[in-house]
Amino acid sequence: MSPLVSLPPAPVALRAAALEELRGALEAIRCSAWLVARGQVTQRELRLVVAIDMAAERAERAVRRLSD
């Protein structure tokens, strides 16, 4: 490896990878909730949408913590 190029320490690289994975999951959760919420939903589906939205909020907080 060239002395001009260095890899980030493993914990930093793993944290960055986990952060990107979490951001992707968060986007998928938000899109799923948005698509379901656009149409007519049953009471059961509405509860699932609320649970998905709550999970997305927890994921957003985790992203903020990992970003610090």
pLDDT in tens, 7-54: 667 787 778 888 888 888 888 788 777 777 778 777 887 787 788 888
Statement: the pTM of the whole predicted model exceeds 0.85 = no
Short-list 22, 37, 27, CA closest to 67: 22
Cα–Cα distance, 20 to 14 (Å, whole number): 10
pLDDT at residue 3, as a whole number:
57
